[in-house]
Amino acid sequence: MENSLLVGLSRQMVLERQLDVVANNLANVNTNGFKSDHSLFEEYLRSGAHEDNFVSTDRPISFVQDRGTFRDYSQGSAQLTNNPLDVAVDGSGLFAVQTAAGERYTRDGNFHLNNLGQLVTTSGDPVLNAAGAPIVFQPTDHDINIAADGTITVLEGASRADSIRGKLRVVSFTDAQQLLKQGGNLFAAGEGSAPQPDLKSTVQQGYVEKSNVSAVTEMTNMIAISRAYQSVANILQQQSDLHKNAIEKLADVPA
């Protein structure tokens, strides 16, 4: 296959994967606490020929390679819900939750109580306290208050004294790009990374953090990717037509 076709094909493969990233961002534009992904590209140089009997050095061919993706951890807007169990993180911290696969982390603070009185996520995973245990409320608890540092206090029964039900475990990582998306709006700690208590982040009761995806930007990216793909397809078609015409003209040359 000729170099022009190989270069065009490499570009189309990258555009296809880039479109998948953009489509996933758009699909989560309304997912609480979702962090958008973006593609990373680099030039990949490879010589076009591999023989040693050329007079001059063959010029390297420049291909397109998607090296991976990076995650945008910028904070999404906080939406007021007035639900006392909803909590939004102000800062880079993440809530720690317990799943069947182990401890995981999320920015989605849309919490509620299960039938055991545990504070859980929308998926039913228990939210952990600073000691790594589930946060449990009593049936008589009312007037739930969550302080900026994550401390949860309630009024129990007819008592007018505050009772502490725990403190939200908010953690951060030295390199957040090492976090692995697990689905269900959860992250897992990457290899060699460990969660640390986040003492800088605060929480806001009665709010949830919205996705940081810009629908307008992602739609614009999708249109640009589609046009670029079509442009490459047109170039490849022109190259194919040139080859076809050359073969036909060569066939007409007298022997």
Separation CA 215–CA 219 (nearest Å): 6
What digits encode the pLDDT tens for the residues 161-170?
789 999 999 9
The answer to which of 40-49, 74-83, 88-97, 119-128 has the lowest mean pLDDT is 40-49
Q: pTM score > 0.75 for this model?
A: yes
**DSSP code string of 100-130:** TTEEEEES--B-EE-TTSBEE-TT-PBBBBT
Give the per-residue SS3 of 189-236: CCCCCCCEECCCCEEEECEEECCCCCHHHHHHHHHHHHHHHHHHHHHH
Across the range 220-244, mean pLDDT stands at 86
The overall average pLDDT reported for the chain is 87
pLDDT for position 26: 96
Q: Is 131 helix (H, G, I), strand (E, B) or coil?
A: coil
The answer to which of 58-67, 74-83, 94-103 has the lowest mean pLDDT is 58-67
Kindly tell me if the per-residue pLDDT of 22 is higher than 80.
yes
What digits encode the pLDDT tens for the residues 114-168?
999 999 999 999 999 999 999 999 999 999 999 999 999 999 887 777 899 999 9
